[in-house]
Structure 1
């Protein structure tokens, strides 16, 4: 979504964003995140190496010992929380606070971290149900050495105000890191042998148009006509920079990659809905028909390649 890749929405077509809403798993963007838990968990599995690299770079940046406090805002199914927990453990321990507006996601993330830590109590894990768009957001949260938000700020009505709110959670010297933008996930060859070549590009263009519409329909939606590094600087942070990590699963695909590509294509088909041309709709039907020889899941030339960009700044 956004840039969306969800953007990872987006590396994977929903991208991992979550957060921010009221009750029943619904957020300001009108997305029912609780129903997407299996997709989010699949995305986390595909992104595990990238998540580990992000955690390593960010935990190294804060280089504080076992007293380090990390806030994961809009944690989704907990893939990045798991990576932070493991990295904190490697640095002697710390405190991980998982924050989301959707109770079902909080529970799934907490469980994922619990499994990863396997009883090691050197990382203290807390969960907080909170809406990042609320005026009193942060009231119940500790000051942090690292605040992380992945593809969630772009779901907030005012992205700059949301960035500033997150920056306000930092203790002096702490870092805010936002995963926003990057490169949309690619997984299909250009010519599929069915329909007109270039299907993926047309679907991604429709998805981006849908993202713009989603932003326009958020109550109180405020444009942010500049990049995330500028947003961090305007939030008062210094040493603003960015880095990108790849999610790369080359062809021929492992079974989990096949499943992920099928889910990505079917999810994207749902998202673009009736905005897709009749010809492309016919192609999608052929690609998603498990009984047909055009089934995308049986191809040897599908893959996953995407990039996540992390923007960071220091208080």
Structure 2
């Protein structure tokens, strides 16, 4: 059954294969982020918008032997099922794994989760929600005093192509990324009850009532030549850029991109040994005040 969020109209269940691939690609970095976030005293974690379960699985593995719990939250039933099953395999009964089917944009989130926890984690979730500041307040409400909210959001635009790919004019990827940015702005405006967030994420966490806000960034760096999940991520990125390129870039740029994406053509990007995958993501963490 296809499942759409009422607010962003994306069929997240249909994204399962891509999300699995993304988890495989970024597993080392996800484990490092989880290790950096968990304090020795942390026992109970909520993973919001769990996707295919990469982060939930890393939390389950890290909490093994502590008597802790991981609450896996997603509004897409197939994703929730996949993420929960993966986390249970990683936990091997050493950690309680709970599944909660609800939307982070729903005011009933706290009731659905049903407990206050040490750490709430939401990776690449909040920017999809209609009122992002209200969402941060909602997520902060899941914390016990002294607990922390960690959100992961995009730090820099991903890059996969050389500046000059030898097809069309140089600088193709930057122009495609600008077109995508323009499409994202439209998508935000089209979300029902969309509210602007005219501040950075760290300021937004403070505005949501959190203190001791800190931020760090990390790279997902897969140099050329890429193979496996990194190669598939390159192809998916270009397909994704193609979706928003129509009517936003020149006919020459569209033609160049189509040549790069044609598996039967001589310029197919999947046969190149000089494409790479480079992304910078940023973690923002705030603490719920005691008392």
TM-score (norm. length: structure 1): 0.87
CA shift for structure 1 position 38: 0.9
- Matches of 1:190 and 1:244, distance apart in 2: 24
- Unaligned 5+ segments in structure 2 are none
> What displacement does 1:129 show?
0.5
- The yes-or-no answer on 1:92 pairing with 2:71 is no
- SS of 1:47 mapped into structure 2: helix
Pairing partner for 1:110 from 65, 69, 84: 84
Q: What is the match of residue 158 of structure 1?
A: 131
Aligned to 1:25: 3
**1:116-165 CA distance string (max 9 Å, x none):** 33xx2111111100111112221121111000111111111111111011
With structure 2 as the length reference, what TM-score do the two structures score? 0.94
Q: Which residue number in structure 2 is paired with residue 64 of structure 1?
A: 41
SS of equivalent residue, structure 1 residue 46: helix
Report the secondary structure of 1:236's partner residue: coil
Asked if the contact 1:49/1:247 (under 8 Å) is kept, the reply is no
How large is the RMSD of aligned CA atoms in angstroms?
1.5
CA contact (8 A) 2:60 2:88 kept: no
Q: Give the secondary structure class of the aligned counterpart of 1:70.
A: strand
Give the drift of 1:273: 3.7
Instruction: Please give the alpha-carbon distance, in whole angstroms, between the structure 1 residues aligned to 2:70 and 2:109.
Output: 18
User: Is contact 1:51–1:79 with CA below 8 Å preserved after alignment?
Assistant: yes
SS of the residue 2:202 aligns to? helix
Rounded Cα–Cα distance in structure 2 between residues aligned with 1:104 and 1:256: 21
Partner of 1:255: 228
Alignment check: 8 A CA contact 1:133 1:156 kept:
yes
C-alpha contact (below 8 Å) 1:53/1:245 kept by paired residues? no
* Match of residue 43 from structure 1: 22
Distance in 1 between residues matched to 2:250 and 2:90, nearest whole Å: 44
- Equivalent residue in structure 1 for 2:109, among 118, 137, 148: 137
Deviation per residue, 1:50-70 (Å, 9 max, x gap)? 1111100011xx3216xx110
8 A contact 2:117–2:144 mirrored in 1: yes
Q: CA deviation at 1:112?
A: 2.2
Q: Is the 8 A contact 2:2 2:14 kept in 1?
A: no
Q: How does 1:1-315 map to 2 (within 5 A)?
A: 24-27=2-5, 28-59=7-38, 62-64=39-41, 68-89=43-64, 92-117=66-91, 120-141=92-113, 142-315=115-288
| Contact 2:22–2:229 (CA under 8 A) maintained in structure 1 | no
Query: How far has the Cα of 1:93 moved from its partner?
Result: 4.3
Aligned mates of 2:86, 2:152 — CA distance in 1: 20
For these two proteins, the number of residue pairs brought into alignment is 286
